[in-house]
Chains A and B, each alone.
Chain A
Amino acid sequence: MSGETATRTKSGGATIIGYRSVVKRFGNFVALDGVSLEVHAGEVVCLIGPSGSGKSTLLRCTNGLEALDGGDIAFEGASLPREERALRAVRRRMGMVFQSFELFPHLTARENVAEGPRTVLRESRAESDRRADALLDKVGLADKAGNYPSALSGGQQQRVAIARALAMEPDVMLFDEPTSALDPETIGEVLNVMKKLADEGMTMVVVTHEMTFARRVGDWIAVFDAGRIVEQGPPAQIFDAPTTERTRDFLSHLGWQG
């Protein structure tokens, strides 16, 4: 019923993130109940499933925002360190994009993107500003560099947030429902930026309810239910020929027609 039900057809390369029997509890609630999954270099892995099934929790465990209660997460072959300083060194190599953007409201778009390099990498102002402008250009917001987040639409804010994460030159990008808080008309612009990143070969783990995106851009799909992965495989399997009842139920609830 679970586990690897298909061999990877389009796998980019070496394993970047390895989840092994990951367990996470919040009090008596078991959020993750033995999750195993591999993320290979250059792959887009999409985590789908009903709300509260553990997708976001797994993502938040990936960069240590939540601590594990069992199992192991290995990043480039080494278990996530527990010690703060070492954990920070790993974190800066993983970019994270949040559902609610979490841009810093007291900083302009440019300052938001430059903040990580400036504070964490001790880059000079000129250097980090140049980097920020280049990244804002990349996400199509070169003209909004001087704007504060409050003067940007949701889609624009999320694109700035993507640029902010990219500024640390991460090896992996983690997306936590990046379009769930957006107006329908601005979802596309964010997904396009993500698609572009994927095409450039960025390794991405994406928690999403956008099935079309998962189907078209995803290389590997993991279906969550009640803290477990009930099925994982390439999009063709998950969306066209799901092997478990749970997956079929979930997709039919979303009105997925294939």
Chain B
Amino acid sequence: MIFDWSVVWQHRDALVAGTATTILLTVATMAIAVPCGIAVAILRMYGVAPVRAAATAYVELFRNLPLILVVFWAFYVLPILTGLGLSPLATGLAALVLNVTAYNAETFRAGINSIRRGQVEAAMALGMSRAQALRRVVVPQAVRRILPVLASTWVSLFKDTSLVSVIAVSELSYAAMQVRAQTFRVLEMLTAMAAIYWLLGYPQAKLTDWIQRRYAVSE
């Protein structure tokens, strides 16, 4: 078998554009799913009973569905539900946000629960309200404690964005597969794709390790 690596260089524009979309999807998903995750966690912990039940149902549903199913679901069902003609990119983003928000909510809930009750009492003894105690004392500590978990969610998400290629979002894997379909250069394109994912993912994984060391909680 003869390899022709020039195909990778020839289609560099498509690969660069795909890589940019992959990064955009990762950043946008996290930017939405972190505040939403905090909100869902707080609703699940402190909301009135029906709100709590709804938040719990949401988390348990989306945490236990395969992401690719959610992607297809968003593609076929979301337009019917919302009446909007969403672009593939917006649809893919919605699916990723639904999935990652559920995970982040659980992460935040665990983080908030891990803070001793005495910390809230100490804050309230100073005259703080529950909301102030949460904002000034509990959440800052919880965020530090779960930063390593968020970082690994980020690394997983970066790779999982490839799943939205099934609804023709032209992120990295979709772009690479398109080139493959045009040129029949399967091994070259898969290798190029692997190299790009790895080169971008490896520093993120290392950064995660560093964050875990840097923010290890000492009491």
Q: Which residues of A contact B (CB under 8 A)?
A: 63, 65, 84-85, 88-89, 91-92, 94-96, 98, 100, 102-106, 115-116, 119-120, 148-150, 161, 164-165, 168
Q: Among B121, B141, B144, B217, point to the contact of A98 (Cβ < 8 A).
A: B121
Report Cα–Cα, A96/B125, bound state, in Å: 6
- Inter-subunit contact A168/B127 (CB<8 Å): yes
Main secondary structure of the interface of A (DSSP, over half): mixed
Closest residue on chain A to residue B127 by CB atoms: A92
The answer to the question of B80 belonging to the interface, with a C-beta cut-off of 8 Å to chain A, is no
The answer to the question of B39 belonging to the interface, with a C-beta cut-off of 8 Å to chain A, is no
Closest residue on chain B to residue A95 by CB atoms: B125
Report Cα–Cα, A137/B140, bound state, in Å: 27
**B residues near A98, Cβ cutoff 8 Å:** 118, 121-122
Report Cα–Cα, A226/B174, bound state, in Å: 72
**A residues near B127, Cβ cutoff 8 Å:** 88-89, 91-92, 116, 120, 168
The answer to the question of B77 belonging to the interface, with a C-beta cut-off of 8 Å to chain A, is no
Contact size class for B?
A: 20 to 34
- Inter-subunit contact A120/B121 (CB<8 Å): no
**A residues near B140, Cβ cutoff 8 Å:** 106
**B residues near A65, Cβ cutoff 8 Å:** 121, 124-125
Given contacts A100-B118, A104-B119, contact A84 B218 (CB under 8 A): no
Binary contact track B117-140/A, C-beta < 8 Å → 1, others 0: 011011111111100100011001
Report Cα–Cα, A148/B118, bound state, in Å: 18
Binary contact track B100-130/A, C-beta < 8 Å → 1, others 0: 0000000000000000101101111111110
**B residues near A150, Cβ cutoff 8 Å:** 218-219
Closest residue on chain A to residue B142 by CB atoms: A106
Report Cα–Cα, A89/B141, bound state, in Å: 26
Report Cα–Cα, A84/B133, bound state, in Å: 14
Closest residue on chain A to residue B130 by CB atoms: A84
Report Cα–Cα, A94/B121, bound state, in Å: 13
**A residues near B144, Cβ cutoff 8 Å:** 106
Q: Among A63, A85, A105, A106, point to the contact of B125 (Cβ < 8 A).
A: A63
**B residues near A63, Cβ cutoff 8 Å:** 125
Binary contact track B60-92/A, C-beta < 8 Å → 1, others 0: 000000000000000000000000000000000
- Inter-subunit contact A84/B118 (CB<8 Å): no
- Inter-subunit contact B217/A115 (CB<8 Å): no
**A residues near B125, Cβ cutoff 8 Å:** 63, 65, 91, 94-96, 165
**A63, A116, A165, A168 — most chain B CB neighbours (10 Å):** A116
Closest residue on chain B to residue A85 by CB atoms: B129
**B residues near A100, Cβ cutoff 8 Å:** 118
- Inter-subunit contact B129/A104 (CB<8 Å): no
Min Cβ gap A27→B in Å is 18
Q: Among B126, B132, B137, B218, point to the contact of A168 (Cβ < 8 A).
A: B126
- Inter-subunit contact A102/B121 (CB<8 Å): yes
**B residues near A120, Cβ cutoff 8 Å:** 126-128, 132
Q: List B residues 193-219 near A (Cβ within 8 Å).
A: 217-219
- Inter-subunit contact A104/B137 (CB<8 Å): yes
**A residues near B217, Cβ cutoff 8 Å:** 105
Closest residue on chain B to residue A118 by CB atoms: B136
Closest residue on chain A to residue B141 by CB atoms: A106
Q: List B residues 131-173 near A (Cβ within 8 Å).
A: 132, 136-137, 140-141, 144
Min Cβ gap A2→B in Å is 29
Report Cα–Cα, A208/B125, bound state, in Å: 19
**A residues near B124, Cβ cutoff 8 Å:** 65, 88, 91
Report Cα–Cα, A101/B217, bound state, in Å: 17
Given contacts A65-B121, A105-B217, A105-B218, contact A115 B126 (CB under 8 A): yes
Closest residue on chain A to residue B217 by CB atoms: A105
**A residues near B218, Cβ cutoff 8 Å:** 105, 148, 150
- Inter-subunit contact A102/B118 (CB<8 Å): yes
19 contacts between A and B (CB under 8 A): A65-B125, A88-B124, A91-B125, A92-B127, A95-B125, A96-B122, A98-B118, A102-B118, A102-B119, A103-B122, A104-B137, A105-B217, A106-B140, A106-B144, A115-B136, A116-B126, A119-B136, A120-B128, A120-B132
